[in-house]
Structure 1
Amino acid sequence: MIQAQTRGQVLEGVQQYGLAPGARKMIDAEEQAAQLAMETGIYAVWRSSKGGDCTRIGPSARCFCNHSYAEHFFVSPKAPYPICKACSCRAFAFVPSRPEEVGEWWLPRRKGFNVHTWRAKCRCGHGHDEHDPNARRCRCGCSMFQSNFACLVCDLKWEDHETVFETATERLMAGKPVGEDFRPLADDAAVRDLVFPGEHGAAAVDSFAPNRYLSTVVRRPYASWRPTAGGQWRTSR
């Protein structure tokens, strides 16, 4: 398969063929995440250890516990991260929910493949949802989830990322985009206009009802917290 190598080829491909179904799902989720960030003032991203934001996190984003971001909430104004309403998960931690997000774009094209049952896997061979949502251990005996995949954006492993919740002020201080500039493809109007034509606006975020505890404190990433031998939690900062 011939892959587009230049911006011109990308533009031509989008004009002629549009986006692949998986790419459409991914870019719509990112647009929805940007809309949510602007409405709530909390910017949720999946950030690599190199400092780059690899994914915008929106209502439908999947947590390690296998529940969506919309199923998590902040328990207090000073809570560093949202916990899950549906299980014992103590902190939302983003995981890819589609094979295209880890570079396995061919899987959805296989006959009989069900994207809804696909799970990001550990090197032990089991999905993230077969690991404890807090301790990250698997019933097979592996002591910690270690991804057998790499991020499509930065090519780093899952464990080389952290889930971050921050305000617009904090992002501006760090030199990161906010507001309309946070939308996907905001830096290339020509491509964005093709991907998001007038009739294809941002997806509604009405299904996401964050509670009132959205303070201005930094939402520290879950990756900064580790379970102790006794099962308690402590910061590694």
Structure 2
Amino acid sequence: MAGSNRGRAPGDYISLPPNAAAHVDAYFEYRAIVGDDDGGNLFSPEEYDAYKRRVLPMRLHNRLYVSWVNPEGMDCILVGPQHKCLCRHKFSEHKTDFANIPTERPILISCRQAGCRCVSFEYVANASGTSDPNCRCKHSLDTHGTRPPYTCQKSIVSHSTKQNKILVFNRRLDCNCSGFRAPFTCTCGEPAYKHITLVETKQEREQRGHPTGYATPYKAMGGLTGFSSLAEGY
């Protein structure tokens, strides 16, 4: 074929060593284990080994399972690393590793992000699965507080009226929202607001008759125990 032997420009292709795929796999495993605990700078091999020696025993023996549960005890959503809290931070950005399992109930999983006042992870019920939901007060999640009861901080502009031929200008009133509540019904048939975010130990979860899966070294696994965990309702 004419032109088939012409030379390629340097940018037309790249050359990879035979073990390139293994390096990619190693990086993805590193990221699944470390998450953002390295502050954006990759650990050295020595730092990585020290990190694993410190956190892996906690994840293997003190794992906490997190799920969004309806009144009947069904796990409608099994929380994973990327699920979002009402504080707008991901589950992986909360404290998920415990040297000792707390004795008080409910178990609190506080946010680790600077300046966030979140006391414990609360799953954001989302019907669309993409953009953040609005509250029943019709205002977005971003206008609500970051700790219970997550009240709306947005002001409402009242309409101007004429009184005795004098124009009364618009006034700003606080929204009367008593707390964030997503106005949709879960696939289980129950309203979203009747669900709770449940944090439990392996023993507590087994007592409810729910699976706990295998011990895993990965960060912020929450309630995920397998591919079936990605489906709604259990």
Calculate the TM-score normalised by the size of structure 1.
Answer: 0.50
Corresponding residue for residue 137 of structure 1: 151
Deviations 1:67-96 (A, max 9, x none): 001111168742621111221111100014
> Is 1:169 paired with 2:183?
no
Task: Tell me the alpha carbon deviations over residues 111-165 of structure 1, each in whole angstroms, 9 at most, x when there is no partner.
Answer: xxxx4xx21111111122321122211023112222212223x132222111111
1:63 is paired with a residue whose SS is coil
Q: 2:121 aligns with which of 92, 110, 117?
A: 92
Cα displacement (A) at 1:98: 6.6
Matches within 5 A, 1:1-237: 39=60, 41-73=63-95, 77-78=101-102, 80-86=107-113, 87-96=116-125, 99-100=128-129, 115=130, 118-134=131-147, 135-140=149-154, 141=175, 142-152=177-187, 154-179=188-213, 182-185=225-228
Q: In percent, how many aligned pairs have the same letter?
A: 29
Match of 2:17 in 1: none
Q: What one-letter code is carried by the residue in structure 2 that aligns with 1:160?
A: K
Q: Equivalents in 1 of 2:225, 2:81: separation in Å? A: 16
Unaligned runs of at least 5 residues, structure 1: 1-31, 101-114, 187-191, 196-237
Using the TM superposition, give the Cα deviation of residue 53 of structure 1 relative to its aligned residue in structure 2, in angstroms: 0.4
| Contact 1:121/1:149, CA 8 A, preserved across alignment | no
SS of the residue corresponding to residue 228 of structure 2 reads coil
The CA distance in 2 between the partners of 1:178 and 1:57, in whole Å, is 13
Whole-angstrom CA distance in 1 between matches of 2:153 and 2:93: 25
Distance 1:151 1:145, change over 3 A: same
Give, in whole Å, the separation in 2 of the partners of 1:167 and 1:145: 27
SS of the residue aligned with 1:185? helix
For structure 2, the residue ranges without an aligned partner over 5 or more in a row are: 1-31, 33-55, 155-174, 215-223
C-alpha distance in 1, partners of 2:127/2:184?
Answer: 12
What root-mean-square deviation, in Å, do the aligned CA atoms of Structure 1 and Structure 2 show? 3.2
- Residue 47 of structure 1: CA displacement? 0.7
Deviation at 1:97, TM superposition (A): 5.3
Point out the structure with max Rg over C-alpha.
Answer: 2
* TM-score of the two chains, using structure 2 as the length reference: 0.50
